[in-house]
Structure 1
Amino acid sequence: MEKIILVLGATGLLGRPVSYSLKESGFQVRIMTRDVQKGQKAFDNSFEMVCGDPMDIGLLQDALDGCYGVHISLPNEVEQQVAENVASLALGHGVKRISYISGATVAEENQWFPMVNRKFLAEKAIREAGIPSTIICPTWVMEGLSLFINQGRAAVFGRQPCPYHWVAADDIARMISNSYVLDEAMSKRYIAHGPEAICIQEALRRYCAVFHPGIKEVSSMPFWLVRLLATLTGNQVLKGAGEMMSYFEKVGEWRNLPEINEAVGVPMMTLDMWLQKNKARAMTNIEGKFNISDNLISQLDG
């Protein structure tokens, strides 16, 4: 009988590739989603699907029944609460493994930033659950580059001078699925860095050259202007994006070095490799008609 892995946030930016990777590794994948229609577009009938909000304790308990493992990949606003709920319920439901995607800059010293604080507390709850866990902490993911494109323009907030070791979601997914089949990966935390360090502006220029050739330059908006526009328009998304980019301009990639471990593997895909792979995917419109050039911000809600 196939072991069941419950994936929370499976339709999101990182949850979807993790779900497919777990399936390819021989697990039965149970998808818990608030939007069944969205889930059915992302996954075929070989995936088990249950409708529900993971913030609902009763529905979460039902979804946990019979599961070998739980993977958490949810929006930052809810991931701490859900991680704490999973941690308190998992042992009683016979769950044997928990996996979670955190972030490379998540550390006690950076708890002053709310997004990091929520991830820090989510990690803490998972480690204290009494169940073997694997926490993968990537730096910036390549799939997020499309979020810098808006109304035919490519723009970053602030100067953003720090280079990042960009990671492909497929590499992260492989690390997660490997963690479920190898005992060496139990109860460990891995920093995931890609093979090359590239600043956001350069990564965005390369992305635009492939998917938005009409965009010839990457503009920069100073933080004071971002704050002013967010205040004048009441745009909370813009406000949050400005605060996040201000945080990353301050801390960069942090000082963590990736732990090289052959058990879960290391990210190998370069940005150029990723661009060519997803260009081919978009052109052939494969994998459920998923097009990498679509606005991926709709996938961040899990």
Structure 2
Amino acid sequence: MKQQILIIGGTGMLGAPVTRRLCAEGNAVRILTRTPDAARKKFGAEYEIVAGDVQDRNSLAQAMQGCQGVHISLNDRAIPDLERRGVENIVQVAPRAGVQRITYLSGASVKQENCWYAGTATKFAAEQAIRASGIPYTIFKATFFMDALPRFVRGTRASVIGNQSKPWHWVAANDYAQMVARAYAEQKAVDQDVYVLGPQAFTLEQALKTYCALVQPNATVSRLPLWLADLMARAFGQKELANALPFFRYTEKVGENADAAAVNALGAPTTTLEQWCQRIGNE
């Protein structure tokens, strides 16, 4: 069944593949964004783009009109609590707008005992708000995405920040997007948490070495201690690095909270890291 679906966070690294997949399957996709001009340049006239902000309930209400589904893909490490507040606004507005399904991107390590980290606390609270809303939902609890690997490379250096010894089942964003589309098309995994785990487990260093070997062979993988990364962020005013450091402190201690062999109604991602790298290298 084709639907009108509002995508909140539809222009980002993980939201854009979902946006394109839902549209490719014949759904009417509407993108809510604070930067509509940039979104139009990115997606073109095929997509309906509306200006709005998750902190503004009026703009949310207008954007949701006529939508059967709302997909939420938010992440702001600089202001983690913005995501919680945004989701709470969404679930307040959605019932009055007639929304029949909410899908939400959370994380594979999100559980109460890990809420000492602000990013996990905000996603945990967002999950709770969605479950309490009474609207049928699917929460996608995803591991590390392969699509983030290029962000670890600067010039000829690929940095592993901190002691990242825990393995993660890296997943391709396109596989995740297919799972979201299937949830809407087949009305599956309703009122469920779905773990999104790729077929292979690698540490960050192992994944980066594979990526660099196949995509950026001039880059060398090296380790950067957290204390030195913190010093660099302060000395050179690197806000992006400073905002990322709490996450790397977190992933030193916390791993996936899921069984990669568990079966879910939406199917398991199948793209291997090598396959993804080969595709990226050919683009």
Q: Please, which runs of 5 or more residues in structure 2 have no aligned partner?
A: none
Q: Which residue of 2 aligns with 1:277?
A: 279
2:202 counterpart SS class: strand
Partner of 1:90, secondary structure, is: helix
Over residues 250-289 of structure 1, what are the superposed CA-to-partner deviations in whole Å (9 max), with x where a residue is unaligned? 1122x4214412x311111000111112222x2xxxxxxx
- Corresponding residue for 2:58? 58
Q: How does 1:8-157 map to 2 (within 5 A)?
A: 8-76=8-76, 77=80, 78-157=82-161
1:154 CA drift (Å): 0.6
Identify which of 219, 222, 225 aligns with 1:222: 225
Counterpart Cα distance in 1 of 2:166 and 2:188: 33
Partner of 2:249: 246
Q: CA RMSD in A?
A: 1.6
1:180 matched to 2:180: no
**Could you tell me which residue of structure 2 aligns to residue 288 of structure 1?**
none
> C-alpha displacement at 1:209, in angstroms?
2.0
Structure 1, unpaired ranges of 5+: 283-302
- Name the % identity: 41
Moved over 4 A (4+): none
Q: State the TM-score, normalized to the length of structure 1.
A: 0.88
Alignment pair present for 1:190 and 2:218 = no
Q: CA deviation at 1:20?
A: 1.1
SS at match of 1:102: strand
Matches within 5 A, 1:194-209: 194-209=198-213
Query: How far did 1:2 drift?
Result: 4.8
TM-score (norm 2): 0.93
Question: 1:105 Cα deviation (Å)?
Answer: 0.2
Q: Do the aligned partners of residues 231 and 44 (structure 1) sit closer, same or farther apart at CA in structure 2, a change above 3 Å counting?
A: closer
Please say if residues 73 and 79 of structure 1, whose CA atoms lie closer than 8 Å, have aligned partners that are also in contact: no
Cα deviation, 1:144-183, whole Å, max 9, x if unaligned, reads 0011012431111112111111000011101111111223
SS of 2:158's equivalent?
strand
User: How many pairs were matched up?
Assistant: 278
Alpha-carbon offset, residue 23 of structure 1: 1.3
Secondary structure at the residue paired with 2:248? helix
Q: Which amino acid aligns with 1:276?
A: Q
Higher relative contact order (CA 8 A, sep 6+): 1
Say if 2:166 is the partner of 1:162: yes
